[in-house]
Amino acid sequence: MKTRDRILLGSLELFNNQGERAVTTNHLAAHLGISPGNLYYHFDNKKAIIRELYDAHQQQMMALLKIPEGRPFTITDKAEMMEKLVQELWSHQFLYRDIEHMLVEDPELANQHRLSFKIYLDYALKIHQALADAGLQDTTEAQRRDLSYNAWIIVTNWITFIRCTVLPDTEQTLSPALIKRGVYQVLIIEQAFMTPEAVEEMSLLAQTYYTDIDALLLRDPATTDSLICA
């Protein structure tokens, strides 16, 4: 594997496990067994590494939002899309738990993030239009836009919500199941706009992403000294 690719994979591993702010370029070099100079030969700084990881992640996310061609969109298509999105979110979780800090620190990444939303919105609107065209969703153009905004807001903030509101650092760590609950929140909102013929199927799909977080939210606050959102 090329050194540049090793740096990206090693950075992704450390960022996910330790958080982006806790990892320096020296940490990365030591983790990979290379000199800091070798790392800087490939990337000017940590921000450049983050931008490349972000770009690759967003390209993959948008690829997963493409609608099958030549046939009506189905709930099964939606399910497969959601499952792959969850896997991609899990693999790049640091981008969602540390995103505000990274955007403040790097205006170039902030511009990239805003552009990503515009691209995402176009894909999301096409998905909702495909659901409507297939007789699965009964929505106006304004409602489809609102649903698209809601999905972006939930998905991009869900990991931060889980880490800062649900999980005390003494109890549990982030898991794919907890990320899936974010998908459930999106689907349960969209379910209200499905046609009668599609409601039951959509409800069954939503339930496959349900994970109970009430017990974590209702725990005794006195037992929690700190949260892991720092």
Query: In this structure, which CATH number among 3.40.630.10, 3.30.70.2190, 1.10.10.60, 2.115.10.20 belongs to the domain 3-42?
Result: 1.10.10.60
Asked whether the beta carbons of 192 and 164 are under 8 A apart, the reply is no
- pTM of the predicted protein model: 0.85
Q: pLDDT tens, position by position, for the chain (230 residues)? A: 899 999 999 999 999 999 899 999 999 999 999 999 999 999 999 999 999 999 999 999 999 999 999 999 999 998 889 889 888 988 999 998 888 889 999 999 999 999 999 999 999 999 999 999 999 999 999 999 999 999 999 988 888 888 888 876 545 577 888 888 999 999 999 999 999 989 999 999 999 999 998 877 766 555 544 444 55
Percentage helix, strand, coil, to 5, in the chain? 75, 0, 25
Q: Where are the domains of the chain?
A: 3-42, 49-223
Cβ–Cβ contacts within 10 Å for residue 27, how many?
Answer: 15
Residues 187-192: contacts with CB within 8 Å, 24+ apart? Answer: 187/82, 189/147, 189/150, 190/137, 190/147, 190/151
